[in-house]
């Protein structure tokens, strides 16, 4: 999953607090492991993973990349 950050913000804090809060409060998403920092890409800071159950209750691991484009967006 790819996220495009278009406003200046603390990406780690936003991911860990706001996105995880949304996942926990959404009853249609069965999250078994919240979004957490990961290490699958060397020298890239904003990558994470999470785990969920699909509609057949099979484990689904999602890898998340957050790209900071906030310096490229003009308000």
pLDDT at 75 over 70: no
Determine the pLDDT at residue 26.
85
A 10 A CB-CB count for 41 gives: 11
Model confidence pLDDT, tens digit, residues 20-65 = 999 889 888 899 999 999 988 899 999 999 999 999 999 999 999 9
CA 27 to chain centre: 18
pLDDT at 74 over 80: no
Sequence spans of domains, the chain: 2-72
Please, what CATH class does the domain formed by 2-72 belong to? alpha beta
Residue 55 per-residue DSSP state = T
Determine the pLDDT at residue 50.
95
Cα gap 74→6, rounded to integer Å: 9
In the three-class reduction of DSSP (H, G, I as helix; E, B as strand; rest coil), residue 43 is classed as coil
């Amino acid at each position: 999953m790819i996220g495009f950050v278009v406003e200046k913000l603390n990406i780690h804090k936003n991911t860990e607090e706001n996105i995880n809060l949304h996942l926990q409060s959404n009853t249609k998403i069965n999250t078994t492991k919240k979004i957490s920092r990961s290490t699958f890409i060397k020298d890239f800071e904003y990558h994470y993973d999470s785990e969920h159950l699909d509609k057949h209750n099979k484990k689904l691991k999602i890898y998340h990349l957050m790209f900071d484009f906030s310096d490229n967006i003009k308000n």
